[in-house]
């Protein structure tokens, strides 16, 4: 989850636990980056023309925090152009140096390149996700092919690659520390994986593919956001909203006013297939309308239909993979992941699918019985599942989610839950910084301190949903820690919590609470980074490892000492009753068959799409039929359990998590095993937190990911705790 504009990184920016990583790539188009003789002058001229452009130098605010109060849309493109030209000139010097290639004059020099580009890209792409507008979207569309070409020009530069290879060939004989040696070997692999050994003709083909993919990806994400906003559910009367809380109904009315629909109620769609309102709405017809609208997003024709884009993306990815010597895009994508092969991923997903579906079918039987007990004469459908699951949960455990919410006020969860856990486990403390500017009034900044009182970094919270913000939850870094430049981290967490009417408290669902803890796990990964090189900072780890530390941090959400500190009634201050907490814990495996099945369905679909050859890729008209056939073949298809994402709005799969949505369950094996380690070693102890930080969280990508895990755990990963957690071991 990070941005890197050095040659090594193909300019990756973390956009999410959608948690979703989008590859941006970065300019010109010749085999070597031969900026003309006037390149340096062009950089200077562009900079001068930009006047007071805040991106032209490091921010003078605390820890280089972005000067959001000075940043305007007009600053982005000039800064990108200046940054591209600057890095072209820097890479040209490296590639054409007459000095023999060394670690310092090649690898360290590349790490130091692209300062302007890094600054503007971090802010711009964070803005695209968190608070976009039409002008920003237009800039993004224009930038996509430029950045793609720029990345290709670095990674396909034959002179630069010759220097990289020369140093790598003598790596065993160089007196370098372990992190420096890893920088050499990983950079070399990145050049190979990006096509550095291709013929000149094939390099040109690759550049064209990358450019088209960049443009298609930008178009896809814009259409997905537009479709979500355009298809919000409009309800004429509050009578149709029976079952929803008064605050939720008031929020729907406010949303109607915001859209100039006076007296109407608007229910915005979230990015997943299922929608939160379906758990409480008694009106079955409305539930069905909401789900139908959600499931048909991007596939019903019209200007926001994405199926043609998806088909093209999948086909071009497959063609690119074969050009690079791989059978398919999934095989290509997995080479840098801990899973390594499609066979390993297929085996893991295939092992988990049967017990998951068996659990879901048992759950469906219980829910059908409840439908009939209530006098219903219909078969349970996907739009009914969450409604009856909540009723069954209340019956089984004598509580439902509405009983929890008064004890889960958002700011209290953050300060006395998330922050308090970090204090107890890692010794951190937090102080609000109202003096630093933000890009939206709902955004807040915190300074993070070590146990000794020294500053660790800055943390930005942006928790409310808005139409200018994409769905999901994610972390990004505005400034990544590294010792090369002496930077301390500035990281941000983003959620999509519906904002209540003015004066009302923000009461969270339990899922939103665990999401807040999860995303802060990513933030800790960024804050604790202690590496030399920017390429290894923070969350710069394999995609199927990056979710692991954040999933571990979820354990503190229901840890008794932590829960007791934050789960207090927003009006009375009374602690959540112990019996209610016991019910929360007792119900932890409830509905787990459904949750696992909807997730596995999306993971299997992602693999199915990306394990195709170019000839096998379905056309736009065939995609939905392919989706159904793939899920049926895998034995994961259940009408009552739709895939967590469908092809037309599967932003993870079309973005940086392509062939990588399996990562969450892959990481959860490590997560569940690590939770067991904490329990075995006394739980919430500073010594345990310090060990986790020292052996794993602080290392970023500077050490092989699985080596980090084994060093922390003292053993190979064990899948048994995951099976126990998800109730998949009791068949």
Strand partners, 477: 491
Q: If pLDDT is split at 50, 70 and 90, which confidence band does 20 have?
A: very low
In a domain, 410, yes or no: yes
Answer yes or no: is pLDDT of 2 > 90: no
Q: What is the set of active-site residues? A: 519
Identify whether the C-beta of residue 710 lies closer than 8 Å to the C-beta of residue 716: yes
pLDDT value, residue 589:
83
Last residue of a domain, one of 223, 250, 271: 223
Do 282 and 419 fall within a single domain? no
Answer yes or no: is pLDDT of 400 > 80: no
Per-residue pLDDT tens over the stretch 197-228: 999 999 999 999 999 999 999 999 999 989 98
Give the pTM: 0.88
Answer yes or no: is pLDDT of 15 > 60: no
pLDDT value, residue 289:
97
In a domain, 97, yes or no: yes
Answer yes or no: is pLDDT of 9 > 50: no
Residue (of 125, 86, 89, 90) closest to 3 by Cα position: 125
Q: If pLDDT is split at 50, 70 and 90, which confidence band does 313 have?
A: very high
Do 28 and 107 fall within a single domain? yes
Answer yes or no: is pLDDT of 103 > 60: yes
Residue (of 541, 663, 517) closest to 602 by Cα position: 663
Mean pLDDT for the stretch of residues 462-470: 93
Choice among 14-18, 225-229, 280-284, 659-663 with the minimum mean pLDDT: 14-18
Last residue of a domain, one of 529, 564, 586: 586
Q: Tokens at residue 319, please?
A: 């063609």
CB atoms within 10 A of CB 171: 15
Do 237 and 219 fall within a single domain? no
pLDDT value, residue 642:
97
Answer yes or no: is pLDDT of 616 > 90: yes
Q: In which order are the strands placed within the sheet that holds 429-432? A: 429-432, 444-449, 455-464, 490-497, 474-479
CA distances from 190 to 103, 199, 201 (A): 16, 17, 20
Number of domains in the chain: 3
In order, the DSSP letters of 131-194 are S--HHHHHHHHHHHHHHHHHHHHHHT-HHHHHHHHHHHHTGGGS---HHHHHHHHHHHHHHHHT
Do 488 and 554 fall within a single domain? yes
Identify whether the C-beta of residue 558 lies closer than 8 Å to the C-beta of residue 584: yes
pLDDT value, residue 51:
64
Beta-strand ranges (E) seen in 499-538 are none
pLDDT value, residue 5:
39
CB atoms within 10 A of CB 632: 10
Choice among 14-28, 133-147, 374-388 with the minimum mean pLDDT: 14-28
Strand partners, 475: 493
Q: What are phi and psi of 455, to 5 degrees?
A: -80, 130
Q: If pLDDT is split at 50, 70 and 90, which confidence band does 45 have?
A: very low
Answer yes or no: is pLDDT of 1 > 90: no
In a domain, 204, yes or no: yes
Last residue of a domain, one of 203, 223, 243: 223
Residue (of 53, 70, 52) closest to 61 by Cα position: 70
Q: If pLDDT is split at 50, 70 and 90, which confidence band does 401 have?
A: confident
In a domain, 260, yes or no: yes
Q: If pLDDT is split at 50, 70 and 90, which confidence band does 730 have?
A: low
Answer yes or no: is pLDDT of 577 > 70: yes
pLDDT value, residue 13:
33
pLDDT value, residue 729:
77
CATH of the domain at 581: 1.10.1370.40
Computed over every residue of the chain, the mean pLDDT equals 91
Percent pLDDT > 90 in the chain is 84
Q: Please name the helix (run of DSSP H) or strand (run of DSSP E) that holds residue 464, with its range, or none.
A: strand 455-464
Q: Tokens at residue 19, please?
A: 């948690």
Answer yes or no: is pLDDT of 632 > 50: yes
Answer yes or no: is pLDDT of 725 > 50: yes
Q: Tokens at residue 348, please?
A: 């893991």
Percent pLDDT > 70 in the chain is 93
Answer yes or no: is pLDDT of 33 > 80: no
In a domain, 494, yes or no: yes
Per-residue pLDDT tens over the stretch 54-70: 999 999 999 999 999 99
Do 425 and 558 fall within a single domain? yes
Q: If pLDDT is split at 50, 70 and 90, which confidence band does 582 have?
A: confident
Q: If pLDDT is split at 50, 70 and 90, which confidence band does 397 have?
A: confident
Mean pLDDT for the stretch of residues 101-124: 97
Answer yes or no: is pLDDT of 37 > 90: no
pLDDT value, residue 317:
98
Residue (of 296, 248, 286, 290) closest to 269 by Cα position: 290
User: Which domain, by its residues, includes 552?
Assistant: 406-586
Answer yes or no: is pLDDT of 296 > 70: yes
Do 26 and 146 fall within a single domain? yes
Do 126 and 149 fall within a single domain? yes
Do 49 and 185 fall within a single domain? yes
């Amino acid at each position: 989850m990070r941005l890197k504009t050095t040659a090594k990184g193909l300019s990756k920016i973390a956009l999410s636990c959608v948690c979703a990583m989008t590859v941006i790539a970065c300019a010109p188009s010749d085999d070597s980056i031969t900026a003309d003789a006037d390149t340096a002058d062009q950089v200077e001229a562009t900079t001068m023309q930009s006047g007071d452009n805040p991106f032209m130098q490091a921010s003078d605010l605390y820890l280089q925090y972005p000067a959001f109060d000075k940043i305007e849309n007009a600053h982005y493109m000039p800064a990108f152009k200046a940054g591209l030209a600057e890095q072209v000139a820097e890479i040209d010097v490296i590639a054409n140096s007459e000095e023999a290639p060394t670690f310092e004059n090649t690898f360290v020099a590349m790490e130091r390149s692209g300062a302007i580009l890094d600054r503007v890209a971090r802010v711009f792409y964070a803005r695209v996700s968190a608070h976009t507008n039409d002008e920003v979207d237009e800039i993004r569309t224009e930038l996509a092919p430029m950045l793609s070409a720029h990345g290709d020009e670095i990674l396909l530069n034959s002179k630069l690659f010759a220097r990289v290879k020369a140093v790598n060939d003598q790596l065993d004989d160089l007196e370098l520390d372990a992190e420096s040696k890893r920088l050499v070997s990983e950079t070399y692999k990145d050049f190979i994986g990006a096509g550095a050994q291709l013929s000149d003709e094939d390099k040109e083909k690759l550049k064209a593919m990358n450019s088209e993919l960049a443009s298609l990806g930008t178009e896809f994400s814009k259409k997905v956001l537009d479709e979500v906003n355009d298809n919000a559910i409009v309800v004429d009367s509050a009578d149709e909203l029976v079952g929803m809380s008064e605050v939720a109904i008031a929020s729907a009315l406010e949303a109607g006013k915001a859209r100039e629909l006076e007296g109407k109620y608007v229910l915005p769609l979230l990015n997943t297939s299922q929608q939160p309102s379906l758990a409480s709405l008694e009106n079955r017809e409305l539930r069905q309308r909401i789900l139908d609208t959600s499931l048909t997003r991007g596939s019903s024709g019209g200007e926001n239909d994405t199926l043609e884009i998806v088909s093209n993306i999948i086909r071009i990815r497959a063609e690119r993979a074969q050009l690079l010597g791989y059978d398919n895009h999934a095989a290509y994508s997995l080479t840098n992941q801990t899973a390594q092969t499609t066979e390993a991923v297929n085996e893991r997903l295939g092992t988990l699918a049967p017990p998951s579906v068996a659990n879901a079918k048992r759950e469906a039987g219980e829910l059908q019985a409840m439908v009939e007990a209530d006098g219903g004469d219909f078969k349970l459908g996907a739009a009914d599942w969450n409604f009856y699951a909540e009723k069954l949960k209340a019956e089984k455990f004598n509580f439902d989610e509405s009983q929890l919410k008064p004890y889960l006020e958002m700011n209290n969860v953050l300060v006395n839950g998330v922050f308090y856990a970090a204090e107890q486990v890692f010794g951190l403390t937090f102080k609000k910084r109202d003096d630093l500017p933000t890009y939206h009034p709902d955004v807040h900044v915190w300074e993070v301190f070590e146990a000794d009182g020294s500053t660790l970094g800055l943390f930005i919270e942006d928790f409310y949903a808005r139409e200018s913000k994409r769905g999901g939850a994610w972390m990004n870094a505005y400034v990544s820690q590294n010792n090369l430049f002496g930077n301390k981290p500035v990281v941000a967490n983003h959620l999509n919590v519906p904002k209540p009417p003015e004066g009302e408290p923000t009461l969270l669902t339990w899922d939103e609470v665990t999401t807040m803890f999860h995303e802060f796990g990513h933030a800790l990964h960024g804050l604790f980074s202690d590496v030399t090189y920017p390429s290894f900072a923070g969350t710069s780890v394999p995609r199927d490892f990056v979710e692991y530390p954040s999933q571990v941090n979820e354990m503190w959400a229901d840890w008794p000492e932590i829960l007791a500190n934050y789960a207090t009634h927003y009006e009375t201050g009374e602690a959540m009753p112990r019996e209610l907490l016991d019910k929360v814990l007792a119900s932890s495996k409830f509905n787990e068959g459904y949750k696992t099945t909807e997730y596995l369905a999306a993971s299997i679909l992602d693999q199915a799409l990306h394990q195709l050859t170019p000839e096998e890729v379905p056309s736009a008209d065939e995609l939905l039929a392919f989706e159904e056939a793939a899920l049926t073949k895998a034995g994961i298809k259940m009408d009552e359990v739709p895939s967590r994402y469908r092809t037309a709005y599967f932003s993870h799969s079309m973005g940086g998590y392509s062939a990588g949505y399996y990562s969450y369950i892959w990481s959860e094996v490590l997560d569940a095993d690590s939770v067991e380690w904490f329990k075995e070693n006394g739980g919430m102890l500073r010594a345990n937190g310090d060990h986790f930080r020292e052996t794993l969280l602080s290392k970023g990508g500077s050490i092989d990911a699985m080596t980090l895990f084994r060093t922390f755990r003292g053993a190979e990963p064990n899948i048994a705790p995951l099976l126990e957690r998800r109730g998949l071991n009791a068949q």
